[in-house]
Amino acid sequence: MSLLRDCSKLFCFIKPMRSIMGVRHYVRSVNMCAIFDVDTAQDFEMRVKRSEKPVIVDFHAGWCAPCKLLAPRLENIVGEKGGEICLAKVDIDEHSELALYYKVGAVPSLLVMQNGKVLNRMEGLQTTDAIRDWINQAVKSRKKIRRVEEDDDEDTEYS
């Protein structure tokens, strides 16, 4: 089981490929942003804080029932985004220093981070629609940030 868990870190979104005899088959795409477990503080630094794409950070615990209910909802919604946003899972029992640093007072807690900055925060078990709306806001804000940066680049080229 741990081998499957370790191998899953190499892959990204799970996408439905096709239905064969009524059974859905899934393909994992490596070219998109990953859904991954944070292994170390250095891993968090490299894959979350330095990410140019928005990253949803899911602070959870193995003993937390709402966390277990939230996880598949998050994974499905992030998978729908087709690489626009990433999902980093942080176990607060293994990485209490990260939970303390980001002032996680309850689990599940979700943060949206981009370029090292916390853009948005959500706590507790949420409906799928509430999570989808929250993520859509993060993706929209990313597009606005990118558009402003592109406009700034155009201005500096012609100055």
**Catalytic position from the list 12, 33, 64, 86:** 64
**Catalytic position from the list 12, 33, 67, 86:** 67
C-alpha triplet 113, 103, 64: angle, nearest 5°: 90
9-46 as b/e: b if 16+ CB within 10 A: eeebbeeeeeeeeeeeeeebeeebbbbbbbeeeebbee
Nearest to 75 by CA among 92, 98, 58, 54: 58
DSSP designation for 84: S
List residues bridging with 37 in a β-sheet. Answer: 89
Phi, psi of 54 (to 5 degrees): -65, 140
33 is catalytic: no
Residues that are catalytic? 64, 67
